[in-house]
Amino acid sequence: MAIDVGAAAIGRTYTNTISTNTYVDATGPASGSGTITAGGIWLAASSSSDIWIGTFSNVGNDLTCRDSESIGDIASGSEIPFAGVDIIVVANDHIGAYCKSGTATIERDISIGDGNWYKAGNCIDADYTGSFSFASGRVQSLHGTGTEGGAAGQPTMRRWGGVPGMVYTGRRSW
Q: What is the mean pLDDT of residues 89-95?
A: 98
Q: What is the pLDDT of residue 162?
A: 38
Q: What is the pLDDT of residue 159?
A: 31
| DSSP states of 123-158 | --STT-EEE-EEETT-EESEEEEEEE-SSTT---HH
DSSP state of 89: E
- Give the number of other Cβ atoms within 10 Å of residue 33's Cβ: 20
Tens digits of residue pLDDT in 37-53: 999 999 988 777 799 99
Tens digits of residue pLDDT in 120-171: 999 999 999 999 999 999 999 999 999 998 544 444 332 333 334 434 344 3
Q: What is the pLDDT of residue 78?
A: 81
Beta-bridged to residue 82, according to DSSP, are 39
Closest to 39 in 3D by CA, of 95, 93, 88: 95
Q: What is the pLDDT of residue 156?
A: 34
The pTM of the full predicted model, rounded to 2 decimals, is 0.84
